[in-house]
Amino acid sequence: MRTFEAVARIDASPDDVWALLTDVGSWRDWDSGVDRVEGGSRWASGSPSTRP
Coil, helix or strand for 27?
Answer: helix
Greatest Cα pair distance in the chain: 31
Give the pLDDT means over successive 10-residue stretches in the chain (52 positions).
Answer: 88 90 86 80 57 58
User: Which pLDDT score, from 0 to 100, does residue 11 have?
Assistant: 95
Residue ranges per domain, the chain? 12-40
User: Which pLDDT score, from 0 to 100, does residue 20 have?
Assistant: 87
Q: Are 4 and 11 in contact (CB under 8 A)?
A: no
User: Which pLDDT score, from 0 to 100, does residue 18 have?
Assistant: 86
User: At CB < 8 A and 24+ separation, what contacts does 11-17 make?
Assistant: 14/51
